[in-house]
């Protein structure tokens, strides 16, 4: 049986803990952001990952793992903003519930796609997840520029979900699989 659901839950727990700690420290200050600003924040994180992958070094003492976590958390923030609007509700309990709701929706999507693609993501390079996230950001920006008026494409939310799942795959490959290898 696939380890993916258990690994996905481990990633959810790490990302959720960071989200909750930051919400404790900063409150829900991010609720003022429009979805377009959140998309740009995700771009900054994905672009930094790509720069690190290509240059092989960093001048800021943070690797790519925190950036993938940031992509996940910002994409969930984007989903919350799409649903609730900017600054619609600053109740931290409601935000925490919405956060888990969207993370579990992303997991359901991943499980359905994983069934159809037979875990092909495990054979991909982490750099491909980065490129796919950047592509999803460009698609999202285009849809935002079109004000959602698309002819055939899925909406912004679908792209945020895909960004979450690609970032989760990267974290599984970079952290969980590496830890399991070290245990053996």
| pLDDT per residue as tens, the chain (184 positions) | 579 999 999 999 999 999 999 999 999 999 999 999 999 999 999 999 999 999 998 888 889 999 999 999 999 999 999 999 987 667 899 999 999 999 999 999 999 999 899 999 999 999 999 999 999 999 999 999 999 999 999 999 999 999 999 999 999 999 987 776 544 4
Give me the helix-helix angle, 156-171 and 65-84, nearest 10°.
Answer: 160
Nearest to 79, CA basis, from 49, 39, 44:
39
Question: What distances in angstroms separate CA 178 from CA 50, 60, 124, 173, one per listed residue?
Answer: 20, 23, 15, 7
Q: pTM value?
A: 0.94
């Amino acid at each position: 049986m696939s380890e993916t659901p258990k690994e996905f839950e481990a990633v959810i727990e790490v990302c959720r803990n960071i989200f909750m700690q930051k919400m404790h420290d900063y409150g829900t200050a991010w609720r003022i952001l429009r979805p377009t600003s959140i998309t740009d924040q995700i771009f900054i994180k994905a672009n930094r990952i790509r720069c690190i992958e290509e240059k092989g070094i960093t001048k800021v003492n943070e690797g790519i793992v925190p950036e993938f976590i940031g992509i996940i958390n910002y994409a969930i923030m984007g989903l919350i903003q799409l649903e609730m609007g900017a600054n619609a509700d600053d109740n931290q309990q409601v935000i925490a519930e919405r956060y888990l709701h969207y993370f579990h929706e992303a997991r359901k999507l991943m499980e359905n796609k994983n069934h159809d693609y037979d875990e092909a993501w495990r054979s991909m390079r982490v750099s491909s997840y980065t490129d796919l996230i950047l592509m999803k950001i460009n698609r999202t920006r285009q849809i935002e520029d079109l004000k959602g008026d698309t002819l055939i494409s899925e909406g912004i939310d679908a792209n945020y979900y895909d960004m979450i799942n690609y970032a989760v795959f990267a974290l599984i490959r970079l952290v969980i699989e590496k830890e399991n290898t070290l245990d053996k």
